[in-house]
Amino acid sequence: MEADPLFSEIVQRDLPELRQLDILEITHQEDRIPNTIHIDNLRQHAHPFVIVKRYVLADGSITWVRNHVSSTTNGIGGTVWVATVEAIDAPPAGDPALLDIAQRVLKWRDVRCGSFGAQVFSEPASDILIDLFVSEQKGRDVCVSSACLAGHVPPTTALRHLTILEEKGLVLRVPDPFDKRRFMVELTDQGRATVRAMLEAFLRSEAR
């Protein structure tokens, strides 16, 4: 693989050594599953990807970077991975890998319901939970009507599922601080853990 000097410094491998390695050989174990998915997409569809990651440098200090990974050909039919990084400020708490798969799940469900009918193929409770997770990761507030739209079912049906989620302790309705007539919907700690477990299961299944 080819890399820029900053990437070489961060992973503590010199450039000649990096040229002899596959990108997964320098992937930390905790990143192996999501990175394998990204690499497979890159191999099959030439889709570059970006990962925001924390690294511990040789002196013990911590730096946050944005990894850009793409591919090119070497002129003799082979593939060369190209990795570059840029230093960034520490991002707000979040999980880019889980956000990515959550957005892909929602996109697939939009396509499925649009093509084959929400009445048959909708899963309103899980759709609402995943949509709330994506909104939370992006720092967006969600009102009750928006949460219901994510369910791909009529409003009365979506409200019923929202009430069930609330009764199970997965979501919470709170007054809008700027409009007391309106309520916002938030994931509880239990709801967030439930969504994360579901998305992590998706990641594991994609890596098989």
Question: 111-158: per-residue pLDDT in tens?
Answer: 765 555 555 556 889 889 999 998 888 777 788 988 988 887 888 999
Global pTM reads: 0.51
Cβ–Cβ under 8 Å, residues 164 and 158:
no
Q: What are phi and psi of 87, to 5 degrees?
A: -70, 140
pLDDT confidence tier of residue 173, bands split at 50, 70 and 90:
very high
